[in-house]
């Protein structure tokens, strides 16, 4: 009898060891309205958005939080659902399309035959924050000419916002909002060129 109880206890222990917490996957996105035009109508400025460059510490699957200026943490069970650079670039391009009322905004890579009025390059120095605390988006953007050879304008930027609660879901939502603010600054820069 004792042998059966021991065997049952071992089986239950092994079953418990075999299960692990569920990993949650996140994506940057915005639901601030949608801009659609006829697929065949080429309207608005043509803009090519180069892949955003992230700091090396963000080049990973896990979400990164910052405890202080010197200490970072990688989430064990909260991961990006894909490549963060690509996700951020696509979001910026989509927001630029809405802001410029243009269906000719493309995220890289694009086909070699595509011609742009402008190209955009963004390099981030920081894109992180504390759970339930301040999230920071900091870097530099450049607005380039059609060939991408000459800088028309550029700016060092920093956007900050406080997450509403201490969840990864809220952190990612806040990060998305900061990218929308960056898109607004880029939209204003392109509109200024269009009107000059």
| Coil vs helix vs strand at 75 | strand
Q: Would you say residue 19 has pLDDT above 80?
A: no
Question: Are the CB atoms for 129 and 135 separated by under 8 Å?
Answer: yes
User: Which pLDDT does position 69 carry in this prediction?
Assistant: 79
Asked, for residue 17, whether it belongs to a domain, the answer is no
Asked, for residue 106, whether it belongs to a domain, the answer is yes
105's CB contacts (< 8 A; 6+ apart) are: 44, 46, 47, 49, 93, 94, 96, 97
User: Which pLDDT does position 80 carry in this prediction?
Assistant: 97
Residue ranges of alpha helices (H) inside the chain are: 2-18, 84-100, 168-195
User: Which pLDDT does position 3 carry in this prediction?
Assistant: 55
Report residue 69: phi and psi, to 5°. Answer: -65, -20
Task: Tell me the pLDDT tens digit for each residue of 143-190.
Answer: 999 999 999 999 999 999 999 999 999 999 999 999 999 999 999 999
Task: Tell me the pLDDT tens digit for each residue of 100-115.
Answer: 999 999 999 999 888 9
pLDDT band at 21 (very low <50, low <70, confident <90, very high): confident
Asked, for residue 7, whether it belongs to a domain, the answer is no
Through-space distance between the first and last CA atoms of the chain, rounded to whole angstroms = 90
Domain harbouring 135, CATH code: 3.40.50.10610
Q: How many CB atoms lie within 10 A of CB 180?
A: 18
Asked, for residue 67, whether it belongs to a domain, the answer is yes
Short-list 113, 118, 156, CA closest to 137: 156
User: Which pLDDT does position 38 carry in this prediction?
Assistant: 41
Question: Are the CB atoms for 76 and 160 separated by under 8 Å?
Answer: no
Task: Tell me the pLDDT tens digit for each residue of 40-94.
Answer: 456 899 999 999 999 999 999 999 999 887 899 999 999 999 999 999 999 999 9
Give the structural domain span for 178. 43-195
Asked, for residue 23, whether it belongs to a domain, the answer is no
Number of domains in the chain: 1
Q: Would you say residue 18 has pLDDT above 80?
A: no
Q: Would you say residue 7 has pLDDT above 70?
A: no
Asked, for residue 19, whether it belongs to a domain, the answer is no
How far, in Å, CA of 15 to CA of 8, rounded?
11
Asked, for residue 177, whether it belongs to a domain, the answer is yes
Asked, for residue 26, whether it belongs to a domain, the answer is no
This prediction has a pTM of 0.85
């Amino acid at each position: 009898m004792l042998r059966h109880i021991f065997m049952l206890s071992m089986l239950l222990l092994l079953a418990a060891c075999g299960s692990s917490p569920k990993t949650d996957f996140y994506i940057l996105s915005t639901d601030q309205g949608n801009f659609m035009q006829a697929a065949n109508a080429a309207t608005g400025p043509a803009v090519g958005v180069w892949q955003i460059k992230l700091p090396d510490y963000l080049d990973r699957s896990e979400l990164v939080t910052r405890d202080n200026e010197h200490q970072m943490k990688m989430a064990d069970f909260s991961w990006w659902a894909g490549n963060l650079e690509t996700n951020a670039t696509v979001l910026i391009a989509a927001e630029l399309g809405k802001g410029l009322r243009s269906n000719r905004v493309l995220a890289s890579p694009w086909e070699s035959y595509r011609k742009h009025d402008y190209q955009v390059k963004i390099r981030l120095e920081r894109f992180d924050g504390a759970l339930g605390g301040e999230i920071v988006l900091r870097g530099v953007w450049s607005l380039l000419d059609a060939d991408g050879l000459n800088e028309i304008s550029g700016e060092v930027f920093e956007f900050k916002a406080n997450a509403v609660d201490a969840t990864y879901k809220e952190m990612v939502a806040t990060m998305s909002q900061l990218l929308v603010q960056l898109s607004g600054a880029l939209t204003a820069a392109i509109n200024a060129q269009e009107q000059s």
